[in-house]
Structure 1
Amino acid sequence: MMKIRFDSSKERSPTQEQGLKVLYAPGKRVAFRLRWYLILFLVASPFVWFFAKLIYGAWVIEAPAQLILPVVEIRARDAARVEHLAVKDGDTVKAGQLLLQMDNPEWRQRLGQLQALTAGAERSVAPAGSGLRNVLVRQLDRAREKLATVQRLRQDGAATQGEALAAASERDQRESELLAFDQREESLRLQPPATRDNAMQKAEEVWLNGRLQALRLQAQENAVVSDVVVNEGENVGSGTVLMRLQRTADPMVLIFLDPVDAAYAKPGQPLKLQLPDGHWLPAKVVNAADRVRRLPEDLRMPFAGAQNALLVSAAVDGEVPPGWLVNQLPLKARFPHDLSRLWR
C-alpha cells in the first residue's frame, strides 16, 4: 500500500532549498502572512464597522442640532428720512447703542415755527395747532390707503393676513392720535384766549419733541445686526423694515431627534451640546416634541436619504461663547445613557 504524506521537506525546513540555506526565507514568510492578514482585515472591515456602529448607537444617543438666534425686525413708526446709519451688517450691538437716526422735515419745520412764536416772533395766520393737525390727517389718509391696498392684495392672494392686521393696526393708531389731538384742542378752547394759545403751542411743541426723539432708534438688548435694508438719505414710510437683529440673549437650540428615541424628548431632560471646536455645553430640553420636520441638508450624514425627525427645543445652561453665537450653527446633541433602554 502506498502511503500519502501531506508534508514536504520545504515545510519541515523552510530555510533550506536543495541543501542550501536561504537567508531571506524567514522574512518572506512574515511578509506573506502580513499580506493575508491585511486582505482579511479589508474584507471584514465593513462588518466590523456595521457592528461597531450598532453597538455605539445603542450605547450613545446622539442627534444633530442647530443653534437658533431669534430675529427681531426694526420698523419705522412714522414716515421719516434716514439721516445716519450707525451700524452695518454683522456688527454686534449692546443694549442702548444707537442703530440709526431719522428725521422728519415737516415736524422739524413746525417745531421751528413754535419756537419762534414762543420767542415773540410774528404769529402765524394759521391757528397754532393747524399745522400738526394737517400732518396727522395726512398720516391717517395714507394709513387708510395702505389698508385698502393690503386688503385688495389679500383678496388676490398677494398679501398675508398678518400684513392686513398690521395695516389695520396702523390705521387705528393714526385715528387714535388724531382723536387725542382734537380732544386736547377742545379742552384748551375752554381756557382764556391767551392762555389757550400758549398752552396749545406748548403742548404741540412737547409732542413734536417727543416724536422727533423717537426717530432716534437704539438697541433694546444685546444683538447682532443680520441685515440693514435701508440707506442714508432714503425716505421711508410708516411700518417700513429698517434692519433685522439677531438676539444673542437666551439662544434656542433645535434638536432633530430620531423618532425611536422619543423617550428622551421630555421637558427637563439633561443633555450635552458639542460645538464645532469640540467643546461641550450643558443643556436641557425645554419643550417636548410636538412636530416632525425633515432633517436639513447640511445636517444629514453622508449617503443618508431624506429623514424625518422629531423637533425638540432645548436651552443652554449658562452662556454660549461669543464666537459661536451664529444663527443656524450646526451642533451635536448627546443624551445620557439609559441602561434600561440598552438592556431592552
Structure 2
Amino acid sequence: MKISYSSSAKTTKPAVEQGLKVDYAAAKRGAYKARWYMLLAVIILPMLFILWLLLRPQLLVLAPGIVTTDPLELRAPVTARLLNIAVTEGQQLQPGSLLLQLHNPQLDAQIAELQNQLAQLAQPVNTANAAILQQREAGIRIAEQAVVQQSEYMDSYRNFKRSGLVLTHEMAAVQQTLTNAKLALEQAKTDVIQLRQQQEVEQLAGSVAQARRQLKQALAQLQAQQEQLQIRAVASGHVIDIQVKRGEFVQQNQPLLLLSNRPQPVIFAYLAPKYLDYAKPGAKASVTLPNGDKVRAEVTEPAQLLERLPAKLAGPFDGEQAVLKLTLTPQQPVTGVEGVPVEVSFDYLW
C-alpha cells in the first residue's frame, strides 16, 4: 500500500510561521571549514618549507659565491705619514703610475746618520793612504832624475873615453852607478805597485773595510725602504677603493688601496668537486643577489681546486672540505659591494 504525505506550508515557505516571517541565521558550516583549512595550512606549510629546504640542495646544483672584481690590496710597507694621493677611485692605471707618496722622518734620519758615518770612516783612511802613496811616487820621480843625471854622466864619460881622458875602470864605475840608478827606479815603481795593492787589500779585507761594508749594506736597505714609500702600480688596471686619507699616519701592513685589472665585476662560485661536469667553461647558471634579483652568468675561466671554502662563506659544519673555485661572468652588469655573498644555481646538464 502506498503511503503519501501531504505537504505542509513549511515545505514551500520555511521562513513563515503562522503567517509571521521568521529570519533564520545562516549555516555555520562554511566558517568551520575555513578554520579547519587554515589549521591544516599552519601545520602543513612549515613542514613543506622545511622539506623543501632539505631537498633543495639535493635537487638543484647550488654553490655559494661572491661578487668581486678580484682586487689587489696594497698595504703600507712601513709606518709612515701619507703625503699625497695621486689617484682617484675609478681611475685607469698604467704600469709604473704613481699611486701614493709616503714619508717617514725616522727613515730619513737613519739614512742621514749612516751617510755621515760612512763619510767619517772613509775620510781619514783615504787621506793617510793618499799621503803615503804620494811619498812613494815622489821617490819614483827622484829615481827618474837620478837615472837622467847618470845617463848624462855616462854620455860625457863616453866622449872622454874616446878622447883617451878616462880610464877603463873609471868608465866601469860610471856604468855601475847608472845601473844602480835604474835598479833604484824600478824598485821605487815596484814599491808603489805593492803599496797600492796593500791599500786595496786593506780596503777590501781590513776591519775598517768590514765596518764600511756593514754600513753600506744597512744604508742600501734603508734606501730601498725609502724607495718603497713611492708606491706605484705594477700592472695596468683601475682603482677600486681608496682606504686612507691624505695626511693620515698609517701603520705597517695597513691596507691603502684596492686595485683591479678586471673591467667589470665577476662572480666567484665555490662548487663541490662532485659537480665537476658543471665547472667547465661555458656552463650556464643563475645568480641570486641579496636583494632577490637574478642574473644569468657563464663560467669563463678554468676551475681551481681550493683546500677549503673561504671563511666568510663557510658555515659552522662545513669543515675543511675541498671546493672548486669557478669564475662566472654575468651577462648583464652587476653593481654591488665588493665581496657581497650570492647564491649560484647551475643549469642542469641534460
TM-score under structure 1 normalisation?
Answer: 0.47
TM-score under structure 2 normalisation?
Answer: 0.46
